[in-house]
Structure 1
Amino acid sequence: MCWCTRDLRCRSWTRRPPPRLSPCWRRPVNLPEEVALAKEVRALARQIARAVKKPVQFMEVCGTHAHAVGRLGLRQLLPEKLTLLSGPGCPVCVTPTGEIDWALELAATPEITVATFGDMIRVPGSRQSLADLRAQGANIQVVYSPMQALELAVEHSDRQWVFIGVGFETTAPTVAATIQTAARQGADNFSVLCCHKLIPPAMRALLAAGEVRIDGFLAPGHVSAILGLEPYQAVADEYHVPCVVAGFEAHDILRALLALARQVREKRAAVENEYERTVRPEGNPLARAVMEEVFEIVDARWRGLGVLPQSGYALREKYARFDAVRRYGLRPSNAGEHPLCHCGEVLRGVRRPLDCPAFADACTPEHPLGPCMVSSEGACAASYRYERIGK
């Protein structure tokens, strides 16, 4: 009998069926391993329930965590007293409309080809998106890395190429290394629209605003692999709020939540690392050195948070010729969001995606009003895909 179709007539194999594949992971199922992991997850959920004695609110500041929580159904395992909020952990989502409009302005220039990650294509600006412009004939190229954008610029040296640099500390080192390579190669037709942001200042801004109670942070694994643990210590010390770095498997996230719950119960505020297989206390000094060589830290505008001091990257004077803002004289814009879009409130944890009146109605992945419904790391997109019931 065919393992896939249950068809007795199938002769695609004769001796034994092919290995069973897990529908979630598309890998061979190792039943003892799967059973052990399931037992560990259930045990962690029970420990969290015992550790949470009063209502607590924790916030993840990583879009990959937001989607992992939804995909793995972890909210259903958490006690009612524990609320897990989504914060400003999606780099595309925190990019303000004004910077999207910069990308649109560049893409509308005939002699410029804009290179961007796929997530940015459908993010609406104040009037349209890059996808709309591309449909009208604009030169917009989806790339998988900044280095690919540079290679295209070198290959097509008769055109100006601008890479849209969006991301946190995770992707900033690769952009910095690409700019260094462009300088060595003399690729004067290449530049970067630098929209990179830093996570720790956003965490401090949320706590300083006091708009929503945050009892602990689920710190991002990827960002922490670059930064290490030290940047979170200032958050823990100044606001007495614990921070725990987490990985992206179910047991990683639950262990981190358990560590946060225990710290709250014990009235401690420490920085812990529950992702030791990837994150070292010192982070990645080499990657940080590349960033420090190319970038300087500046005030930056965030969607939903406004201008945060020392929260963004800009190119140093040494690399100013690769700065698209300076090269093309782009002017600051204070363009706002769509009037029906509450993405800014979602990013601050003030509103859950499911509580937005436009969710799954006026705003869907096919017709998004804001980036939180577009990006693969957006909280609204995660809720739409994994938690939408009856909407």
Structure 2
Amino acid sequence: MRYLDEFSDPDLAGKLVDQIHAVTTQPWAMMEVCGGQTHSIIRHGIDQLLPEGVEMIHGPGCPVCVTPLEIIDKALAIAEQPGVIFCSFGDMLRVPGSGKDLFSIKSAGGDVRVVYSPLDALTLARENPDKQVVFFGIGFETTAPANAMTVYQAKRLGIENFSLLVSHVLVPPAVAAIMESPTCRVQAFLAAGHVCSVMGTAEYPPLAERYGVPIVVTGFEPLDILEGIRRTVIQLEEGRHELENAYPRAVVAEGNPAAMAMLRDVFEVTDRTWRGIGMIPESGWRLSERYARFDAEERFSVTDIHTDESALCRSGEVLQGLIKPHECAAFGKECTPRNPLGATMVSSEGACAAYFTYRRLELVES
């Protein structure tokens, strides 16, 4: 296929659905580990086309959603300081902190700016040498190379009024944490194709072997996801647990060597807290010693900020796949996209936002 709309072809989708039904003999529960995949599944009703008992569990695959509350509060504390230009992608501006969000800071006179690339923030630093420019660097392995390149360029060009607030997380340790949870129901994973396009697939076969789960690298269009599900169900039915690449047009086993080299230079692996989940050992990146002077947490002395999650918001359970969004009592009531309690309702990749947008508002009695 040559064009994107061909990956939504209803006739081909119907054939894949028929094949999934034909090979399924028992219930299975699989997790997609990407918020983009979650939105595609809900938008196109893919989960409703599957055989009875085949369940899609929505995982912690939204980078905005897993950014911990204390990092949001650190961002707010930095953005409020005079002489700071705080830069972020737009989806972070409405994520609630303990009492406000970045939009509130901006409306109160803070210099908060939406940028479309971290390099835009570096340009602002060059143009405003009397200001401290901070970029909010969040996300999985997909967005990390561009952020790493920006810090690399800041050091190379001697731009000392630029810094990075880092909240990068890694997918494979999260898969391990999910499988080791005593409440885990996941029997297979659809791995995020964009992450694997950067990092390759080498980390996944050991996970498949250790936990006895199939892992299928999958894209984001309806046919991509259905093909991933088809391959996953076949493995489950045959009792296999292997890595398969169902997204070869974007993913190769070795990944992107140049991007990985940049990541190894600028970042080092560290323990990370995931919002609603808790600390996962060696599940994130921080700036390496060579680039430590560009660390915004240290530069603005916000390392000691610690906050507690909302007791009303159950986004942590949503992110772990323990409940569906509409099983939260606050969903669609106290918590809406206009007045969100948590990041899963704010982000364009959040599961709660997907359920609200595509009208999955109530539990359906069977």
8 A contact 1:215–1:241 mirrored in 2: yes
- Residue by residue over 1:74-113, the C-alpha shift from the partner in whole angstroms, topping out at 9 and shown as x without a partner, is 1221112100011110011001100000000001101111
Aligned equivalent of 2:52, options 68, 80, 99: 80
- 2:236 paired with 1:264: yes
- 2:262 paired with 1:298: no
- Distance in 2 between residues matched to 1:262 and 1:232, nearest whole Å: 18
Aligned equivalent of 1:310, options 277, 282, 286: 282
- Distance in 1 between residues matched to 2:105 and 2:4, nearest whole Å: 45
Alignment of 1:196-211 (within 5 A): 196-211=168-183
- Distance in 2 between residues matched to 1:65 and 1:241, nearest whole Å: 19
- Distance in 2 between residues matched to 1:167 and 1:310, nearest whole Å: 15
Give 5+ residue unaligned stretches, structure 2: none
| 1:69 aligned residue | 41
Q: Secondary structure at the match of 2:159?
A: coil
Q: Secondary structure at the match of 1:196?
A: strand
8 A contact 1:298–1:309 mirrored in 2: yes
Give 5+ residue unaligned stretches, structure 1: 1-27
- Distance in 1 between residues matched to 2:75 and 2:24, nearest whole Å: 46
Deviates more, 1:87-96 or 1:206-215: 206-215
Aligned equivalent of 2:223, options 233, 251, 259: 251
| 1:180 aligned residue | 152
Deviation of 1:73 after TM superposition, in Å, equals 1.9
8 A contact 1:337–1:370 mirrored in 2: no
Alignment of 1:209-358 (within 5 A): 209-358=181-330
8 A contact 1:360–1:384 mirrored in 2: yes
Alignment coverage as a number of residue pairs: 361
Aligned equivalent of 1:57, options 29, 33, 47: 29
- 2:345 paired with 1:385: no
8 A contact 1:70–1:387 mirrored in 2: no
- Residue by residue over 1:146-170, the C-alpha shift from the partner in whole angstroms, topping out at 9 and shown as x without a partner, is 0011111111111001100011000
Code of the aligned partner of 1:233: P
Aligned equivalent of 1:375, options 347, 354, 364: 347
Deviation of 1:207 after TM superposition, in Å, equals 0.2
Aligned equivalent of 1:47, options 12, 19, 30: 19
Report the structure number with the largest CA radius of gyration. Answer: 1
8 A contact 2:216–2:243 mirrored in 1: yes
- Distance in 1 between residues matched to 2:106 and 2:10, nearest whole Å: 46
- Residue by residue over 1:238-258, the C-alpha shift from the partner in whole angstroms, topping out at 9 and shown as x without a partner, is 101110011111111001001
| 2:140 aligned residue | 168
- Residue by residue over 1:330-354, the C-alpha shift from the partner in whole angstroms, topping out at 9 and shown as x without a partner, is 2244412222111111000001001
- Distance in 1 between residues matched to 2:180 and 2:120, nearest whole Å: 40
Q: Which runs of 4+ in 1 moved over 6 A?
A: none
Q: Secondary structure at the match of 2:9?
A: helix
Deviation of 1:388 after TM superposition, in Å, equals 2.5
Q: Secondary structure at the match of 2:235?
A: helix
Deviation of 1:210 after TM superposition, in Å, equals 3.1
Q: How much identity, in percent, do the aligned residues show? A: 46
8 A contact 1:90–1:378 mirrored in 2: yes
- 2:103 paired with 1:94: no
- Distance in 1 between residues matched to 2:215 and 2:306, nearest whole Å: 33
Code of the aligned partner of 2:213: V
Aligned equivalent of 1:127, options 71, 92, 99: 99
8 A contact 1:169–1:223 mirrored in 2: yes
Q: Secondary structure at the match of 1:230?
A: coil
Shift in alpha-carbon separation, 1:261–1:29, aligned structure 2, 3 A = closer
8 A contact 2:276–2:309 mirrored in 1: no
Shift in alpha-carbon separation, 1:163–1:29, aligned structure 2, 3 A = closer
Deviation of 1:122 after TM superposition, in Å, equals 0.4
- Residue by residue over 1:142-200, the C-alpha shift from the partner in whole angstroms, topping out at 9 and shown as x without a partner, is 11110011111111111001100011000000000011111111111000001000011
Shift in alpha-carbon separation, 1:91–1:124, aligned structure 2, 3 A = same
TM-score norm. by structure 2 comes to 0.96
Code of the aligned partner of 2:254: E
8 A contact 2:171–2:283 mirrored in 1: yes
Shift in alpha-carbon separation, 1:262–1:390, aligned structure 2, 3 A = closer
- Distance in 1 between residues matched to 2:4 and 2:60, nearest whole Å: 35
8 A contact 1:58–1:217 mirrored in 2: yes
TM-score norm. by structure 1 comes to 0.90
Code of the aligned partner of 2:283: S
